[in-house]
Chain A
Amino acid sequence: MTAAEWQIVRFTVEMAVLSTVLILPFGVALAWCLARLRWRGKTLVETFVAFPLVLPPVLTGLVLLKLCGRRGPVGHFLYSEFHFDIVFTWRAVALALAVMSFPLLVWTARSAIEEVNPALEQIARTLGAGEWRVFFTITLPLAKRGILAGTVLAFARALGEFGATIMVAGNIPGVTTTLSTGIYQLVQAGEDSHAWTLAGVSLALAFAAVWINVRLMRRSKR
């Protein structure tokens, strides 16, 4: 593999890891709220979270672009207050991957938390545990496998993201090019053999991630 190809692989994995780490605490917190609490507007939140699964990724990317561009509300605020851009930078890549993989994490984590017997949490409370202690010593350890499976799934989804990424981050070689956008660009340029190299790496990463996910899910059922 060439240095440029290595750079793309490394960059994609880094961005997938970053986005997954970023969404993990929010995803688990939201999953817990959905699994354990009843609140107004819950259905609406569920719908919004699931949106990126069903919307054309390009549309999700377009929304992000409009929000985070210098003329968008979020992008304008960040640029005028902190003097940095999101769109067409590595930050946009991480953002696109995070938004696109978030629903997979939330859904898997939610069902893992729902499978934890609430009676165990109740007993922990009668033994004097507060809500944080109940969560970290009972709920989280018992839902661990499912949450981990959801994390791996989200990571795998992030690795292959294309549509939203290309809208909000573009395809700037050495700056925002990921495996998917890289393959697209190479095929456009007629460099099929290089495209196949990246495709092979992509395949191997995806296989490993899904394989781990399947193993985790199987053991969590037991």
Chain B
Amino acid sequence: MSLILKNISLPLAPFTLEVDVEIHGRVNVIFGPSGAGKTSLLEVVAGLRAAKSAFIQLDDLVLTDVARGVFVPIRQRGIGYVPQDLALFPHLSVRQNLLYGRKSGGDKERVFPFERIVEVLEIQPLLQRGVAQLSGGEKQRVALARALLAAPRLLLLDEPLASLDLKLKTRVLPYLARVRDEFRIPMLYVTHDRFETLALADRMVVLVNGKIEQTGPVQEVFSRPASLAVADILTVETVLPGRIVKMDGELVTVAAGPTALVSAAQNLPANIREVYVCIRAEDVMVLKGGDVPGSARNHLPAVVKSVTREGALMRVELDCGFALAALLTKQACEELALLPGSGVVALVKAPHIHLIPR
């Protein structure tokens, strides 16, 4: 799939959505805080909303070209859209909803058999029901199936899991992964959830206040946010100001608070001194006292401030001269007997300390 969005401009209330990007790959996340213009962008792509200027091309078909007056009608775009409120037809049964846009012939490559979709999304027992009798997770699956049955060339999903609680989220997420793997349909997935992004997407686009701040493979964006704004939005747990004191080939030494950190920063402009230091909580290891073996460059004596549950993991707030967050498994927390006040050593490998010029 290739989706070219050129010169998109759409005035929204506090800012103007301005997008210029080429999107490739199977599952792309559009990541951004609420109110960043993510939904508006999807609506422009689907043709539900007219932009002031826009050029949109999906594979080899130009869908919108405002300058030349090209506008392919919504129904001929072959773009499936699952809005945040799902918009299931309330007067139709689940089966009728599913069959509404069903394509059965024609373009064979894209058509997904009804039985297979119903099976993969486990909708069989719901078919005869009315839409009002479905739970949140069931509605989500039905909306997804309905969009798939129309055999779209691209599927737009607007925060599909946002309205579900954490427990339900973890139940529905695998269905999305199954759809991705089984039907191999390109998706543009809007979310502000890191977990969903890491679980589903290959690549991501970070959208802030209507502008694209960064694009790239998910892992790369998460470990190397391009700006402070991106680091903030991706909720990289630890971001603190630092000053480069030494550059020794690949390794950069940064003074952060009272501590010196060693980073394997890449592509840092030569003249930069003032930086932000970003450390993801997943990349922090915690050991209990004693002599510290291992290859990690940064050994930081620290005191545990608090231990709280975060999803399946435990979030440990440390004080090592600056506030540092670590994400550990519950077992690890128990084995280390981590309690507020415990003395520990935090380990961070040099490649996991990411520097952003400030």
A contact residues vs B (CB 8 Å cutoff): 117, 119-120, 122-130, 137-138, 141-142
A127, B75: Cα distance in complex, Å:
6
Query: Are B87 and A128 within 8 A (Cβ)?
Result: no
Query: Are A142 and B75 within 8 A (Cβ)?
Result: no
Q: B74: nearest residue on chain A (CB-CB)?
A: A125
B contact residues vs A (CB 8 Å cutoff): 46, 48, 73-77, 79-81, 83, 85, 87, 89-91, 100-101, 103, 146-147, 150, 152
With a cutoff of 8 Å between Cβ atoms, the chain B residues found around residue A125 in the complex are: 48, 73-75
Q: B46: nearest residue on chain A (CB-CB)?
A: A126
A47, B345: Cα distance in complex, Å:
79
CB distance from B185 to the nearest CB of A (A): 14
Q: A144: nearest residue on chain B (CB-CB)?
A: B91
A119, B79: Cα distance in complex, Å:
15
- Identify A123's interface contact among B77, B87, B91, B103, CB under 8 A: B87
A60, B93: Cα distance in complex, Å:
47
CB distance from B145 to the nearest CB of A (A): 12
Query: Are A117 and B100 within 8 A (Cβ)?
Result: no
* Count, A-B residue pairs, CB within 8 A: 55
Known: A119-B85, A122-B48, A123-B81. A128 touches B101 (CB 8 A): yes
Query: Are B101 and A127 within 8 A (Cβ)?
Result: yes
A126, B150: Cα distance in complex, Å:
9
Query: Are B75 and A128 within 8 A (Cβ)?
Result: yes
Chain A to chain B: the 10 pairs with minimum beta-carbon distance, closest first:
A127-B101, A125-B74, A123-B87, A126-B81, A127-B150, A119-B87, A125-B75, A128-B75, A141-B91, A128-B101
- 17 more CB-based (< 8 A) A-B contacts, given A126-B147, A130-B75: A119-B85, A120-B89, A122-B81, A124-B89, A124-B101, A125-B75, A126-B48, A126-B74, A126-B75, A126-B77, A126-B80, A127-B80, A128-B101, A128-B103, A129-B101, A141-B91, A142-B90
With a cutoff of 8 Å between Cβ atoms, the chain A residues found around residue B87 in the complex are: 117, 119-120, 122-123
CB distance from B5 to the nearest CB of A (A): 18
Q: Can you report 22 residue pairs joining A to B where beta carbons are below 8 Å apart?
A: A119-B87, A120-B87, A122-B48, A122-B74, A122-B81, A122-B87, A123-B83, A123-B87, A123-B89, A124-B89, A125-B73, A126-B74, A126-B81, A126-B101, A126-B150, A127-B75, A127-B146, A127-B147, A128-B101, A129-B75, A129-B100, A142-B90
With a cutoff of 8 Å between Cβ atoms, the chain A residues found around residue B103 in the complex are: 128
A130, B75: Cα distance in complex, Å:
7
A129, B89: Cα distance in complex, Å:
13
- Identify B91's interface contact among A119, A128, A142, CB under 8 A: A142
With a cutoff of 8 Å between Cβ atoms, the chain B residues found around residue A122 in the complex are: 48, 74, 81, 87
A126, B80: Cα distance in complex, Å:
6
Query: Are B85 and A127 within 8 A (Cβ)?
Result: no
With a cutoff of 8 Å between Cβ atoms, the chain B residues found around residue A142 in the complex are: 90-91
With a cutoff of 8 Å between Cβ atoms, the chain A residues found around residue B146 in the complex are: 127
Which of A117, A120, A126, A128 gathers the greatest number of chain B CB atoms within 10 Å?
A: A126
A128, B105: Cα distance in complex, Å:
14
CB distance from A198 to the nearest CB of B (A): 42
A120, B90: Cα distance in complex, Å:
9
A128, B149: Cα distance in complex, Å:
11
With a cutoff of 8 Å between Cβ atoms, the chain B residues found around residue A138 in the complex are: 89
Q: B81: nearest residue on chain A (CB-CB)?
A: A126
CB distance from B60 to the nearest CB of A (A): 20
CB distance from B152 to the nearest CB of A (A): 8
Q: B84: nearest residue on chain A (CB-CB)?
A: A119
CB distance from A4 to the nearest CB of B (A): 47
With a cutoff of 8 Å between Cβ atoms, the chain B residues found around residue A130 in the complex are: 75
CB distance from B49 to the nearest CB of A (A): 9
Which of A127, A128, A130 gathers the greatest number of chain B CB atoms within 10 Å?
A: A127
Q: B103: nearest residue on chain A (CB-CB)?
A: A128
With a cutoff of 8 Å between Cβ atoms, the chain A residues found around residue B80 in the complex are: 126-127
Q: A124: nearest residue on chain B (CB-CB)?
A: B100
A128, B47: Cα distance in complex, Å:
13
Query: Are B83 and A119 within 8 A (Cβ)?
Result: yes
With a cutoff of 8 Å between Cβ atoms, the chain B residues found around residue A126 in the complex are: 46, 48, 74-75, 77, 79-81, 101, 147, 150, 152
With a cutoff of 8 Å between Cβ atoms, the chain B residues found around residue A124 in the complex are: 89, 100-101
CB distance from B56 to the nearest CB of A (A): 15
With a cutoff of 8 Å between Cβ atoms, the chain A residues found around residue B152 in the complex are: 126
Which of B73, B87, B90, B146 gathers the greatest number of chain A CB atoms within 10 Å?
A: B87
With a cutoff of 8 Å between Cβ atoms, the chain A residues found around residue B46 in the complex are: 126
A96, B48: Cα distance in complex, Å:
43
A142, B100: Cα distance in complex, Å:
15
CB distance from A143 to the nearest CB of B (A): 10
